[in-house]
Amino acid sequence: MTRRLLLLDWDERYRSYVLEASRALGLTVHLVLREPLDPLPEGVDRVHVLPGLYDDPVLWVSDLARYAREHDIAGVLTHEDELVELSAALSEELGLPGASLAAVHSCMDKGITRELLTAAGVPGPRHRIATSLEEARAALAELTLPVVLKPVAASGGQGVTKLSDAAALPQAWQWASEPYSYLPSAYHHVIIEEFLEGPLVSVEAAVLDGEVHVVATTDGLQTIEPIGPTQSRFVYDGLLVPSRLPEDDHRELSHWTREAIRALDIRTGVVHTEFKRTPEGVRVVEVNPRLPGVYIPELVRRALGVDLAGVALQLALGERPDLTERHRRGACVRLLLAQDSGTVVDIEGLAQAAAAPHVVRARLFAEPGDWIAPPQQGEIESRLGYVLTEHDDGPHQALSAAEEGLDMLAVRVTGAGLSGARR
């Protein structure tokens, strides 16, 4: 029997593992994209083109429901933050499995997330919501600097700024307000939170009929890059599975993951919950009712033998996935980030990096002639490529191997000479 799944958007650069998992499960995939795709990837039956897919996405429910009924779609999935509410609304309309629209909305609006988690006793940063610069100034008077400003619908670190001086608030407010201005007005708010010291770690969980199963933990390799004397931006330059935190921390992370998911009433799907490990204990940063981003699902599969993308697909189809850990290794991805602004002249060392010990894959996104800029300027295009590793001896060794591979890559930019990867 053919099982057809509707996948809302797809990106070969960062999400190739989703179609790999669908092929392994024998699924037939229908893609919803903003523009045609030719040739179709293996396992994709057809593409439904919606140029305005990201323009108030929930408005497309009726159109996509008709399409799904015409093509006997058995499940709906997305990995994009901007489309998770559309996915939930469409699943509800069709009577298909998935997290409820109410639960998904509570996750995507970080202000509502904070209210529900606080009411449930889940630890997180002190915060305020602002709808204007004046309200933001009032919020600063109630919080202790430094603080973090972010859009209520932020993802991938876009628009997120660490602020150490109230005098720089107007610029930070602008950065937090702009990235998601195309979304409905309900998301045109900014959340202001106390800054949490400590490493970033996420928990990847699968929820089956309200039962939360912790699958993996991930270290988010993050630096804070200054963009002025009183402001900084968060830069993500790698991911590591499993987390290197001690076992006691893992137990605490698992406990609060379950409590957060219950507080938000997520009953089905894969959930990516981010924490900071502060000196006072773990604190929830955000809860995302979707697959984790970038390459985390592949790292989980390589490190633990659990195909997280396959798990998400099966849950979307109402199937019960196998969550058995098959081995314990280390897997890491380190991102090649721009250090300078300018036009790429050349990138050296790809063949050497790809052939380095324990490197599974090394890939470049940037080409000669491309304009690039450092990540602290707030552009995701600062990602020029990556090195992905796997190591039988665990995460520390996988990280070392990734750093050695990354050191082999060097970028030549007009006017800036030759520079290595951001460390």
Q: How confident is the model at residue 56 (pLDDT cuts 50, 70, 90)?
A: confident
Quote the Cα angle for 158-162-174, to 5°. 55
Give the pLDDT mean for 295-318.
98
Q: At what angle do helices 101-108 and 84-94 cross, to 10 degrees?
A: 170
Give the pLDDT mean for 350-371.
96
User: Residues 112, 134: contact at Cβ < 8 Å?
Assistant: no
Q: Which CATH architecture does the domain made up of 4-96 adopt? A: 3-Layer(aba) Sandwich (3.40)
Q: Which residue has the higher pLDDT, 342 or 29?
A: 29
Is the pLDDT at 422 greater than 50? The verdict is no
Q: How confident is the model at residue 374 (pLDDT cuts 50, 70, 90)?
A: confident
Q: Supply the pLDDT for residue 375.
A: 77
Q: Is the peptide bond before 279 cis (omega within 30 degrees of 0)?
A: no
Mean pLDDT of the residues in the chain: 92
Q: How confident is the model at residue 266 (pLDDT cuts 50, 70, 90)?
A: very high
Is the pLDDT at 323 greater than 90? The verdict is yes
pLDDT digits (tens, 9 = 90+) for 174-204: 888 876 555 555 557 899 999 999 999 999 9
Is the pLDDT at 377 greater than 80? The verdict is no
Q: β-strands 4-8, 28-33: how paired? A: parallel
Q: Supply the pLDDT for residue 416.
A: 59
Is the pLDDT at 152 greater than 90? The verdict is no
Q: Supply the pLDDT for residue 423.
A: 40
Q: How confident is the model at residue 274 (pLDDT cuts 50, 70, 90)?
A: very high
Give the pLDDT mean for 80-84.
93
Q: How confident is the model at residue 257 (pLDDT cuts 50, 70, 90)?
A: very high
* CATH fold for domain 330-420: Aldehyde Oxidoreductase; domain 3 (3.90.1170)
Q: Supply the pLDDT for residue 349.
A: 97
d(CA 7, CA 17): 13
Q: Supply the pLDDT for residue 334.
A: 98
| Torsion from C-alpha of 57, 97, 30, 313, nearest 10 degrees | 110
Is the pLDDT at 379 greater than 80? The verdict is no
Is the pLDDT at 52 greater than 70? The verdict is yes
User: Residues 160, 154: contact at Cβ < 8 Å?
Assistant: yes
Sequence spans of domains, the chain? 4-96, 125-194, 196-328, 330-420
d(CA 234, CA 337): 13
Is the pLDDT at 29 greater than 90? The verdict is yes
Q: Supply the pLDDT for residue 421.
A: 47
pLDDT digits (tens, 9 = 90+) for 135-147: 999 999 999 999 9
Is the pLDDT at 328 greater than 80? The verdict is yes
Q: Which of 90-99, 269-278, 336-345 has the lowest mean pLDDT?
A: 336-345
CATH number of 125-194: 3.30.1490.20
Give the pLDDT mean for 201-210.
97
Block residue for tokens 């002025």 = 228
Give the pLDDT mean for 149-153.
85
d(CA 346, CA 256): 46
Is the pLDDT at 361 greater than 50? The verdict is yes
Class of domain 196-328: alpha beta
* pTM, entire model: 0.93
Is the pLDDT at 235 greater than 90? The verdict is no
Q: Which residues pair with 287 in a beta bridge?
A: 273
Q: How confident is the model at residue 158 (pLDDT cuts 50, 70, 90)?
A: confident
Q: How confident is the model at residue 418 (pLDDT cuts 50, 70, 90)?
A: low
